[in-house]
């Protein structure tokens, strides 16, 4: 069993990005600048955004964090987005999701200029991705592709079962794995909450991407020997033995699944850190493309 170490791989990628930033600076070119908008005080979102801003500092990017109160109106948020769209110093920006219920998430996603949409969530980028055209790939699926590539996990002709059809992970992952690309060229099944006989499917899978958000859902009896497991889940589960009062649980029951796995991502330290590294990579790309 080989651990797909997202922590180490993301560190390697950040070193590569830092080197590119150094070169940009030597050549007198612009320093990449990422902005993030956070609405409200959701604990997990605050943690993610803080990690993204810290990662910018580490690789030599400029960063701007815009924190807005929970009760911010949709109009005010759209106004902030427009300011970032028009600010030439900002190469890319993200609006951390989920948003408070009174804000229309789709409207917000569509307000971001696609050339600055380093999350790859805008319909223009999603459409371009589906058509194999150059675009910003959503960071989590992009990070998974990068992990599979760097660990040389064979995907061509393999059966990939993606569990979960979210716009951020499951849906794009299913499209990307079916495309002709290094980590891709696979036969893909996308399963979700209405799928019948899920276990029949997962038992046939060479690669499983678990992205449904139910802690420890995938158990050892549901997978075949030699499977590759990508665990996208990261749920806070109450744990009185921890100082924080919680632990992070993946969608995979690691103890029973890992002994049957050829490759497996841990939680934490698997997909999570890769997401941040690929967001930085998209921001570097946005900066380099904006001449």
The CA-atom distances, in angstroms, between 75 and each of 94, 96, 101, 102, 267 are: 17, 17, 14, 11, 37
- CB closer to ligand GUN, 94 vs 162: 94
Residue identified by tokens 């989920």 is 98
Choice from 81, 112, 139, 287 touching ligand GUN (CB under 6 A) = 139
- CB closer to ligand GUN, 227 vs 279: 279
> How many binding residues for ligand GUN (CB under 6 A)?
9
Active-site hit among 5, 119, 231, 251: 119
Three-state secondary-structure class, residue 261: strand
Three-state secondary-structure class, residue 64: strand
Q: Is 52 one of the catalytic residues?
A: yes
Piece in contact with ligand GUN (CB under 6 A), picked from 59-67, 94-102, 181-189, 239-247: 94-102
Choice from 9, 10, 96, 174 touching ligand GUN (CB under 6 A) = 96
Choice from 97, 130, 214, 262 touching ligand GUN (CB under 6 A) = 97
Sketch the per residue contact string, 156 through 195, with ligand GUN: x for CB under 6 A, - otherwise: ------------x---------------------------
Residue nearest to ligand GUN (CB): 97
Piece in contact with ligand GUN (CB under 6 A), picked from 20-28, 90-98, 211-219, 247-255: 90-98
194, 182 Cβ separation under 8 angstroms: no
109, 138 Cβ separation under 8 angstroms: no
Beta strands in the chain (DSSP E): 2-3, 33-39, 62-68, 92-95, 159-163, 187-191, 207-210, 227-231, 235-238, 246-249, 261-264
Active-site hit among 5, 96, 206, 251: 96
- CB closer to ligand GUN, 201 vs 209: 209
Q: Is 156 one of the catalytic residues?
A: no
Q: How far is the CB of 222 from ligand GUN (least distance, A)?
A: 25
Q: Is 206 one of the catalytic residues?
A: no
The Cα–Cα gap between 145 and 230 comes to 10
Note whether 53 binds ligand GUN by CB under 6 A.
Answer: no
Note whether 125 binds ligand GUN by CB under 6 A.
Answer: no
Helical segments of 60-210, H only: 74-86, 105-111, 123-130, 139-150, 170-178, 198-202
- CB closer to ligand GUN, 20 vs 51: 51
Q: How far is the CB of 94 from ligand GUN (least distance, A)?
A: 4
Note whether 94 binds ligand GUN by CB under 6 A.
Answer: yes
Residue 259 in tokens: 């002994």
The Cα–Cα gap between 259 and 97 comes to 35
Residue of 98, 102, 47 lying closest to 71 (CA atoms): 102
Known catalytic residues?
A: 52, 96, 119
Chain positions contacting ligand GUN, by CB under 6 A: 94-97, 119, 139-140, 168, 275
């Amino acid at each position: 069993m080989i651990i797909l170490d997202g922590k180490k791989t993301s560190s390697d990628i950040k070193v590569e990005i830092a080197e590119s930033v150094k070169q940009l600076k030597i050549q007198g070119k612009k320093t990449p600048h990422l902005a993030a908008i956070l609405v409200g005080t959701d604990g997990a979102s605050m943690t993610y955004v803080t990690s993204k801003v810290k990662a910018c500092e580490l690789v030599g990017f400029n960063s701007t964090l815009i924190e807005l109160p929970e009760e911010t109106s949709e109009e005010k948020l759209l106004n902030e987005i427009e300011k970032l769209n028009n600010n030439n110093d900002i190469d890319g920006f993200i609006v951390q999701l989920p948003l408070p219920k009174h804000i229309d998430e789709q409207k917000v996603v569509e307000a971001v200029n696609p050339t600055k949409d380093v999350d790859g969530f805008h319909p223009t980028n999603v459409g371009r991705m589906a058509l194999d055209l150059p675009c910003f790939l959503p960071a989590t699926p992009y990070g998974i592709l990068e992990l599979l590539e760097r660990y040389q996990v064979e995907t061509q002709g393999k059966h990939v079962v993606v569990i979960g059809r979210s716009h951020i992970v499951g849906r794009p992952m299913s499209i990307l794995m079916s495309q002709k690309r290094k980590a891709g060229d696979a036969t893909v099944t996308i399963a979700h909450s209405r799928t019948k006989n899920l276990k029949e499917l997962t038992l046939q899978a060479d690669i499983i991407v678990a992205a449904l958000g139910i802690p420890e859902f995938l158990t050892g009896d549901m997978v075949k020997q030699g499977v590759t497991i990508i665990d996208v889940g990261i749920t806070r589960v109450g744990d009185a033995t921890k100082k924080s009062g919680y632990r992070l649980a993946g969608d995979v029951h690691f103890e029973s699944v890992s002994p049957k796995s050829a490759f497996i991502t841990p939680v934490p330290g698997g997909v999570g850190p890769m997401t941040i590294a690929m967001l930085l990579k998209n921001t570097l790309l946005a900066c380099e493309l904006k001449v």
